[in-house]
Structure 1
Amino acid sequence: MVLRRSIYKSLAQLRAMIEPGLITARALAAVRELVAPGVTTLELDAEASRVITSAGAKSNFQMVRGYRHTICTSVNEQVVHGIPGARVLGAGDILSVDAGAEYQGWNGDSAFTVVLPDPSRPEVVAEREELSRVTEGSLWAGIAALASARHLNEVGAAIQDYVDAQGEYGILADYVGHGIGRKMHESPSVFNYRVTDPGPEVRPGLVLAIEPMVVAGDPATLVEDDDWTVSTVDGSAGSHWEHSVAVHDGGIWVLTAPDGGAAGLAAFGIEPQPIG
């Protein structure tokens, strides 16, 4: 007989996931403060590493076989899994940063997108800011759906509905969200689009990393020669937003948002409830 670990955590385990989520949030906030033209993506990586290690945590990205950095930095046509290095950020770039921390055996995972100002190309900046807005909005639509969902894949349907209502955007199909807990990547998969299978039951103890990846053009992607970076085939810009979210007896709580997701969920009429 094969024994499978439950996808549902106990209340004590949910409480243990609060701190790694907050550490992840602080690391990303510190990185965001540094983002500016002339800064290299490796400098951003060093800042995230400083915040995470100073909190007594570890980068869970560095625990992935073959990956030695603290964050992923994806620029312009790169959607996810970009490797930090000597690349210098330029005006008008759209940058997605993904990070995670492990603290006392539990994990957090989160991502944001930002567009660097460029007064000489206001149309490009506006288009990229709208792409980021749509992606972030779809993330919160998915999180909001989780608050009342009976089954997990209602989340993906809500994300797709939100994106489709905003215009002609593409949702990556081959890269999805995931459960999170003792490992950064656990079951179940969290689709960012509608599927026929209803998925697992949504009930207290479910913890998910919800992460829509949306592009301005065709969603077809390729993996670059570094074997990590996922880029659009047509060269269109990409955006990636992510939060780790816990379902508990009182409702939902966004572990990687300092306010538990209150600001993002307000537009959907949902008030997150702290884990008891």
Structure 2
Amino acid sequence: MIFLKSEEEVLLIKESAQVLGKAHAEVAKWIKPGITTKQLDKVAEEFIKDHKGQPSFKGYNGFPASLCISLNDIVVHGFPSQYQLREGDIISIDCGVKLNGFHSDSAYTYPVGNISAEVMNLLKRTKQSLYLGIEQAVEGKRVGDIGYVIQSYVEKFGYGVVRELVGHGVGRNLHESPEVPNYGKRGQGPKLREGIVIAIEPMITLGKRSVVQEKDGWTIRTTDRKPAAHFEHTVLVRKGKAEILTTFKYIEEVTENTTLMVSI
């Protein structure tokens, strides 16, 4: 069942999303060589709880942490650990917040220090594909329209679009219907109606699109060990123009010197 959110419920999701955006920014302040990914997780959890929220991910189907932290060739669902960030890494931070009974969900991939131009372009273009997908989240379109524009944009650069993991509805539950793939055909899939809230989250690889799950039952990495990027917003379907409920504003105030400006 696809739930339509009332304007009152949308406001509650926005409140959750503000805490989430600020939690991301707190983490962004600490992303530098030498910090452990477990320390980043602690920063996020403490910030969320201090602002009366709950980390959506911690305990979800047994997930052990507040953040999914995915490094380099890990696409999503990486565990925080004692690994110390190194110059040249890329790190995806995926976080969710539950506040007032509603979830919000977003992700951002950061360079750690200087990275190659090739990998920086992967980050920029994955971020751009997110916004292209969001443009399709309007009443009367279909889910396949979102996936089509993401896929057609990134594949022209030779990138891979992960098929096994998709975006999703968001609301009282972290994962709701409909599923939102990052590939597809125009005019296919569930019809979008005003009031549907979805997480759009391109997961794009520098090499082949094939992935494998590690023995921990969570971590997903590329089979060819090439880097992957992941960006995500929680979005409200509206008439005419989608409304982005989450925000990268606070992240980009912190990372203004390394902001991933759109590169088409």
Q: Is the 8 A contact 1:71 1:97 kept in 2?
A: yes
Aligned to 2:152: 161
Going from structure 1 to structure 2, the CA distance change for 1:188 and 1:8 (only over 3 Å counts) comes to same
Going from structure 1 to structure 2, the CA distance change for 1:249 and 1:13 (only over 3 Å counts) comes to farther
Q: Is the 8 A contact 1:22 1:258 kept in 2?
A: no
Q: Is the 8 A contact 1:171 1:215 kept in 2?
A: yes
Aligned to 1:31: 27
Q: CA deviation at 1:68?
A: 2.0
Q: CA deviation at 1:17?
A: 0.9
- The answer for unaligned runs of 5 or more in structure 1 is 119-123, 260-266, 268-276
- The percent of aligned pairs where both chains have the same amino acid is 36
Task: Give the ranges of 4+ consecutive aligned residues of structure 1 lying more than 3 Å apart after TM superposition.
Answer: 248-251
Aligned to 2:233: 243
**Size of the alignment, in residue pairs?**
253
Aligned to 1:213: 203
**Counterparts of 1:193 and 1:107 in 2: how far apart (Å)?**
25
- Asked if 1:126 is matched to 2:117, the reply is yes
Q: What's the secondary structure of 1:73's corresponding residue? A: strand
Going from structure 1 to structure 2, the CA distance change for 1:44 and 1:98 (only over 3 Å counts) comes to same
Structure of larger gyration radius: 1
Aligned to 1:87: 83
| Equivalent residue for 1:15, pick from 11, 15, 37 | 11
| Equivalent residue for 1:138, pick from 110, 129, 135 | 129
Q: Is the 8 A contact 2:137 2:238 kept in 1?
A: no
1:181-196 mapped onto 2 (5 Å cutoff)? 181-195=171-185
**Counterparts of 2:237 and 2:225 in 1: how far apart (Å)?**
37
Q: CA deviation at 1:197?
A: 6.8
Aligned to 1:273: none
Q: CA deviation at 1:149?
A: 5.3
Q: Give CA deviations for 1:209-253 in whole Å, capped at 9, x if unaligned.
A: 000000100111111122111011111001100000012457422
Letter in 2 for 1:27: A
TM-score normalised by structure 2 residue count:
0.90
Letter in 1 for 2:129: S
**Counterparts of 1:88 and 1:51 in 2: how far apart (Å)?**
21
Going from structure 1 to structure 2, the CA distance change for 1:162 and 1:20 (only over 3 Å counts) comes to same
Going from structure 1 to structure 2, the CA distance change for 1:201 and 1:42 (only over 3 Å counts) comes to same
- The answer for unaligned runs of 5 or more in structure 2 is 250-261
- Asked if 1:44 is matched to 2:40, the reply is yes
Q: CA deviation at 1:152?
A: 2.1
Q: Give CA deviations for 1:57-106 in whole Å, capped at 9, x if unaligned.
A: 00010141211210011111111000001011100001111000000110
